[in-house]
Structure 1
Amino acid sequence: MLHNTFVHIPGIGETTERRLWQAGVETWDDFREPYPQFLSAQKVQLIRTHLGRSLAQAGEQAPYEFYRQLPTAQRWRIFPHFRHAVAYLDIETTGLSFIDHCITTVSLYDGKEVFTYVQGENLADFAEDIRQYQLLVTYNGKAFDVPMLERYFGFKLTQPHIDLRPLLQKLGFTGGLKGCERQLGLDRGHLAGVDGYFAVLLWREYRRTGARRVLETLLAYNVEDAVNLESLLVQAYNLKLQGTPFAESHRLPLPLLPEKVFFPDLELIDRLRGRLRGC
């Protein structure tokens, strides 16, 4: 979709972009003589100049300039072009608020491999690992995950960032990450019903007992949060395409899930649920 995009050019809005598509100018390479008659000579020169820069930027495989130039509501368009350099991120913490709580685990999925980071073990490694990725994808990460990570590590995550919460909200999907997953057909299996507060309890239980099965249950949940972001973004991308001439040609298949690394302890989950119910 990036090479079909013209709204990143100053002065070109969605109406002009749609008129370009309707005139047969569907890609940057299509913008050549004879130019559409509805464009002034000044506008033609403006588009030509910016498309030259765009081609160079796309060749450099650096998403920042496109992210900066695109309207906020259209930044989803950069996803496929930079999919090879995406980090799907999710964190768990000692509490559900931003203030006075610490990161317990981080899960990072790059579309191929899952990486996990644990407080007291290898959490510091995240600071170096995240630098190799050019695009971040989260759910509500602009408000929570990224500020928490920046505060903990003491540096800014400057990569372009697609936050799925507002993107999915505009498509009519609400109810938090788990609600969006259910509406879009994702099934968490044995982890259904486990939420952020439950993750807090799992960490407390792990700190109390030191039992590895408790930590692995927490990581199984955390990893599920990160891995499912890819499926959600692919579905959101396909739905956004429906408003363009490229709904079929650019449609992305649902991604294959990676092999599971961690498995939840179902007996532990039932026991903690019983404790929550006062049983």
Structure 2
Amino acid sequence: MLKHTFCHVPGIGLKTERRLWDNGVLDWDSPLGHVRLKRASAEAIRTLLDTSREKLALGEPAFFSELLPPKESWRIFPDFRDSIAYIDIETNGYMGPYGYITAISLYDGKRIRYYVKGENLDDFMEDIMEYKVLVTYNGKCFDIPFIESHLGIKLPHAHIDLLYVLRDLGFRGGLKGCEKMIGIDRGGLDGVDGYFAVLLWKEYRKSRNPKVMETLLAYNIQDVVNLEPLMVTAHNMKLEQTPFCQGYRIELPAPPLELPFKPDLETIQKIRARGYSAHA
């Protein structure tokens, strides 16, 4: 889809891009001579498109991520699907100097990795550099800056934040609400949210009960595993708004056959019995 994209060119918005498509300018190799553009010169467009070809050939998606509107970042997905990391973090519930990461989960469509404070959290810094694109939900405002600040690293990756893509498609209700809109059932984790994950961490620090940590990781891993079908769904729905829906549609992926952890229902019930109510 990237080679059909023009809205990353300064001066070309979505309406102008649509006009280009309607006038037969369907990809970077199409001649521009017969289309008049008010805010971008043909020479400037050709220069940017030459650079785009080069960056795509070199496998550098961050170039496009920096130029595309956040709601159009989905266009990066098909060309770089083999180098995507779906990530999500859990924290102790605080921001600033008192906040810290309790767990990170990473899923690349095949392999699940997880990182826990006090165990292997630093391994994330090396592992994440194996990928070129990060997919998150609300990661632009939360996960990415939190990781960079508290782990002291810079994530140079291209970034697809599904919050913006899905919101533009009419999805609402946070990550869990979006999941429900496409029929994802969390089973025993239904009703568990980020605040509940904070309570799980506090309970684990107090009890050191491994079942509590397993429940926290089961929740965190479910978040990243569910990002993949949301990404594919968003891609296909966005594609329907273009002239290219026939050639680029992607089948929904099968979920992992087995997840490394299962939630402990007794632990969940115990915390709920203390008066917890889901923060929807």
TM-score, structure 2 length as denominator? 0.89
Give the CA deviation at 1:277: 5.7
Structure 1 Cα separation of the partners of residues 212 and 35 of structure 2: 64
- Contact 1:7–1:13 (8 Å) recurs in 2: yes
- Could you tell me which residue of structure 2 aligns to residue 170 of structure 1? 168
Letter of the structure 1 residue corresponding to residue 171 of structure 2 = F
Give the CA deviation at 1:86: 1.2
Give the CA deviation at 1:193: 0.8
- Could you tell me which residue of structure 1 aligns to residue 76 of structure 2? 78
- Could you tell me which residue of structure 2 aligns to residue 64 of structure 1? 62
Change in CA separation of 1:69 and 1:212 when aligned onto 2, cut-off 3 Å: same
- Could you tell me which residue of structure 1 aligns to residue 153 of structure 2? 155
Identical aligned residues as a percent: 53
Task: Find 1:38's aligned residue among 35, 55, 70.
Answer: 35
Question: In the alignment, is residue 181 of structure 1 matched against residue 190 of structure 2?
Answer: no
**SS of residue in 2 equivalent to 1:57:** helix
Mark the runs of 5 or more structure 1 residues left unpaired by the alignment.
none
Change in CA separation of 1:70 and 1:37 when aligned onto 2, cut-off 3 Å: same
Structure 1 Cα separation of the partners of residues 193 and 46 of structure 2: 50
Aligned-residue Cα RMSD (Å) equals 2.1
- Contact 2:85–2:135 (8 Å) recurs in 1: yes
Change in CA separation of 1:143 and 1:72 when aligned onto 2, cut-off 3 Å: closer
Structure 2 Cα separation of the partners of residues 67 and 49 of structure 1: 18
Structure 2 Cα separation of the partners of residues 193 and 80 of structure 1: 32
Structure 2 Cα separation of the partners of residues 46 and 64 of structure 1: 20
- Contact 2:83–2:133 (8 Å) recurs in 1: yes
Aligned positions of 1:248-267 closer than 5 A? 248-258=246-256, 259-267=258-266
- Contact 2:62–2:159 (8 Å) recurs in 1: no
- Could you tell me which residue of structure 1 aligns to residue 19 of structure 2? 19
Give the CA deviation at 1:226: 1.1
Structure 2 Cα separation of the partners of residues 111 and 150 of structure 1: 24
- Contact 2:85–2:134 (8 Å) recurs in 1: yes
Structure 2 Cα separation of the partners of residues 49 and 148 of structure 1: 36
**SS of residue in 2 equivalent to 1:111:** coil
Give the CA deviation at 1:275: 2.6
Structure 1 Cα separation of the partners of residues 272 and 10 of structure 2: 54
Structure 2 Cα separation of the partners of residues 15 and 204 of structure 1: 50
Structure 1 Cα separation of the partners of residues 183 and 12 of structure 2: 36
- Could you tell me which residue of structure 2 aligns to residue 269 of structure 1? 268
Give the CA deviation at 1:228: 0.9
Q: Deviations over 1:44-71 (max 9, x none)?
A: 4444433332222111011121222323
Structure 1 Cα separation of the partners of residues 66 and 145 of structure 2: 20
Change in CA separation of 1:219 and 1:72 when aligned onto 2, cut-off 3 Å: closer
Change in CA separation of 1:9 and 1:276 when aligned onto 2, cut-off 3 Å: same
- Could you tell me which residue of structure 1 aligns to residue 191 of structure 2? 193
Mark the runs of 5 or more structure 2 residues left unpaired by the alignment.
none
- Could you tell me which residue of structure 2 aligns to residue 5 of structure 1? 5
- Could you tell me which residue of structure 1 aligns to residue 240 of structure 2? 242
Change in CA separation of 1:220 and 1:72 when aligned onto 2, cut-off 3 Å: closer
- Contact 2:136–2:161 (8 Å) recurs in 1: yes
Change in CA separation of 1:105 and 1:277 when aligned onto 2, cut-off 3 Å: closer
Aligned positions of 1:215-230 closer than 5 A? 215-230=213-228
Letter of the structure 1 residue corresponding to residue 18 of structure 2 = R
Paired positions, count: 273
Change in CA separation of 1:151 and 1:14 when aligned onto 2, cut-off 3 Å: closer
Letter of the structure 2 residue corresponding to residue 9 of structure 1 = V
Q: Deviations over 1:59-117 (max 9, x none)?
A: 1011121222323432221111112111111111111x423222111101111111000
**Structure 1 residues 53-62 or 267-276, which shifts more?**
267-276
Letter of the structure 2 residue corresponding to residue 27 of structure 1 = D
Structure 2 Cα separation of the partners of residues 274 and 178 of structure 1: 22
Change in CA separation of 1:72 and 1:209 when aligned onto 2, cut-off 3 Å: closer
Question: In the alignment, is residue 98 of structure 1 matched against residue 95 of structure 2?
Answer: yes
Change in CA separation of 1:44 and 1:257 when aligned onto 2, cut-off 3 Å: same
**SS of residue in 2 equivalent to 1:261:** coil
TM-score, structure 1 length as denominator? 0.89
Give the CA deviation at 1:220: 0.5
